[in-house]
Structure formats: C-alpha cells, structure tokens
Chains A and B, each alone.
Chain A
C-alpha cells in the first residue's frame, strides 16, 4: 500500500474523542432499532482476541444501550474436545516420541489430565513458539520421532503447511503433525441453524480474514441474512465495526463488510491459501468441545503427505479406531458458553472450582477463552459480589 498515512494515524484509533463519537453513533443507531437492556441487539464477536478487547475496555457495558456481545467459538485451544487431548497424550506417551506444542495447549484438560500432567509423568513434551522450531528439533534428534501438535484456525494453517513442505524438501522422516486445524465459517453455519440462536449480526475475526478474505462469509449474508463486519483489534476498531453492523440492520441490509481494510484484503492472502490447499483437505467431520461433530469443519493432511500425518503414523484418532466422544464433566457448561447460549458466570463451576489456576473447562485455560477473559476483567466483580451475598 502506498497511500499516504495521516500523521495522527495512531491517535485516530486511540483518540477518546473518536471513541466517544462512535459510542454516540452506536447509541443513536440502537435507539432507532428500539434496542433496550431487556430486548437487546445481540452481536457475536467470533474471535477470542476481540473478546479480550471488549472486556479490557469495558465495552460489555454497551448493554446499557441495548447492545449485547455474545462470545463466539473463536479460540482454537478452547474448542479442542477432551478426546483430542487424550489422543495427543497417547501419541506423546509412545516410546521415542518428542511432542512439540504451543504453550497454550499444555493445560487443556482431557479425561486423563493435560499434557502438563503427561509431562510430569515422563512424556517428552516440549513447548515451541513455531512449527519451524519443532522441525528444528527433528533435525537435531534424528533418532527420535518429533510430533507437532498442530492446532489453530486459518491464521495458523499456512505456517503448519509450509513447515510440512519444508520437511518434505529436506527429506526429514522423523517429523509428523497431529493435525487439529479447524475453520471459522463452518461452526457459524451450525450456530445459525440452531433455533435457539438469537444473533442479529457478527463482528468477524481480523487475522483469520487476513488469510481467507471475505468470500467465505458470504453465506452468512446471503443464506441467513445477517450482517458481518471484519474488525481490527483496537477498541475504536470494534466500536466502529459495531456501528457498521447496526447501520446495516437499520438500513435492512445484510452484507459482509471490512472495517480492517488496512490489513485485510478482500481476496485474503493468495500465498497462504495456496499453501493450505497444497497440504490440507477438509475432513468429513471434526469434533468441537461443546458443539460436537461438525461437518467439514476440520482439516486433515492430504493422502500424498500421509508420511507426515501422526494420526496415520501412530494409528490414533480419526486415523485409527477413534473412541466415541468422551463425556464432558457433568457441571461443566463450556458447551452452552461456546454456543453463546449462556454467560460464563452462569456456569456453576465459574470462579468456584474453575479458575485460571485450576481450569476445569477449556474456556478457562487460554487467556483468549471467554471464561478466562470474563474472570480476568468483568466476572470477578460478579463472582465476588455473589460470594458476599
């Protein structure tokens, strides 16, 4: 981009006056729509990063204007089901295996504990920042089997894909991926088909959209007649996006719009899409915590790269005889929260046994999970207020 940037560019997205103007605009639009605290307009922010911005800057108080945020399934660590953690631990416990993972995944509970527990019991689990670091481990330890716990939405997929292609070029044989990549659009379709669903519009994820562009969201506008606005991460970005969603509602439009055009292109990133397509193909079905099996929502490694597919190599998960869905804990409400049908403080475990230090459900594990965000910012108020009653 060669367009000249105004000097006050940074301030433009921080400026309290600008934020106030957006807030006033939101209040006007909300009033036009007849939104009230009791009959609010519900807007789902899909991305965990946005959930954080909302709490950090107190945007959840927009409920006073009749705008309610519903926190979507946008944290890839949080929606990993227990069965996938169990399968990952099974691979990590095989002799000779080094399991490399992002730090976020260490504490996600499976039915028999987390990777952290597995490590304490002797499995060789190592935290890496990048799949490239996992590949470097494989180069360094040719006598070991290095497995990378690949997870994440479309933002992370190109990194995993390019790492696999690099391993192939180098002829590295002791490297594979336990693939848990998932896509954003498919669960949205499921949520929209749910008769309980009361979402009027969406704020779309910035970084995922940087990879996939705007086209994959079209069905939301065309088939389900809901507006979606892809948003940046500054508080003013979010406010502007909410105002854009409301404007569409007032004008009776349902379109996919881009508030984050300074980073997100309409067609996404062609190199990234090509890398994803070269290595991955959609799975017929993949399990999500709280949402169950969702058709075409996960990615698997294409047959020609089977040598790098840990599920094939070790005969676990969808590549082996997959155990039926592990039952989730009785009082855990992760499923309802992920669906947007319940707020975190309404879970009986929230703040009592389930806290960031001792997570029961996955939404409390990652700082991007909606329960953790709630606890860190808003929920603590709620929990302590209730405790003192």
Chain B
C-alpha cells in the first residue's frame, strides 16, 4: 500500500475532476493529477510525463530514468505485478 509505482500520463480525460489516463507496462487506469498540477500550467503539459502513482493519485513528477530504476526495483521484489493487479478496478 505504501509503495508507489511510476506511470506515464497518456491523456487528460476529465479536467474538472483532474483525471488523466495513465499507463505502465500495458496497464491503463484513470488517475487523479491534482497533486502534480501547476496552477500556471495547462493540464495538457502533463501528457507524456512520468509520475509516481500512489493509491490512484499522482504524488510526484519524476524523470524517465527515475521511473525506470523504480520499476526495476519493484520488478525485482515482485511488487510490480501486485500493484498492477490492484490498479485495475474490479
């Protein structure tokens, strides 16, 4: 639960609710991007960026290399599969 997983933002789906579609390793889900948005910047600026996802909310922008090493670390412990399976709403 405390783990975050890096995901890449693909599109903005509902700007009023601050929702975006994110993807990692072929798994997609809608996430909330309030915490990584900047007041002076359009939400579209987030498209293509990597963020750390925690319980459905992007909590930090990270660069692509940080995303890659974090994914490797999670993969080693088997935590990637766990997170991905949990991410898809039942």
B55 at the interface (CB under 8 A from A): yes
Taking CB atoms, residues of chain B closer than 8 Å to A162 are 32, 34-35, 57
Q: Which of B52-80 contact A (CB under 8 A)?
A: 52, 54-57, 59-60, 62-63, 65-66, 68-70, 72-73, 76-77
Question: How big is the A interface, by class?
Answer: 35 or more
A76 to chain B: which residues have CB within 8 Å? 1-2
B17 interface residue per 8 A CB criterion: yes
Q: Which of B34, B54, B76, B77 lies in contact with A156, CB distance below 8 A?
A: B54
Q: Is B55's CB under 8 angstroms from A271's CB?
A: no
Among A103, A366, A368, point to the contact of B86 (Cβ < 8 A): A103
Interface pair B87/A10, CB less than 8 Å apart: no
Q: Is the CB of B11 closer than 8 A to any CB of chain A? A: no
Nearest CB in chain B to that of A151: its residue: B1
B72, B86, B87 pick with most chain A CB within 10 angstroms: B86
**How extensive is the interface on chain B, given as a class?**
20 to 34
| Assembly CA distance A129 to B59 (angstroms) | 15
CB-nearest residue of chain A to B69: A10
Q: Are B54 and A136 in contact (CB under 8 A)?
A: no
A158 and B57 in contact, given A129-B86, A152-B2 (Cβ under 8 angstroms):
yes
Contact A131 B35, CB 8 Å, known A207-B2, A234-B69: no
- Residue contact B2 to A159, C-beta cutoff 8 Å: no
CA distance A198 to B65 in the complex (A): 38
CA distance A210 to B60 in the complex (A): 8
* Residues of A bordering B, CB below 8 Å: 1, 5, 9-10, 13-14, 47-49, 52, 56, 75-77, 102-104, 126-133, 136, 152-153, 155-156, 158-159, 162, 166, 207, 210-211, 233-234, 262-263, 269, 271-272, 275, 366, 368
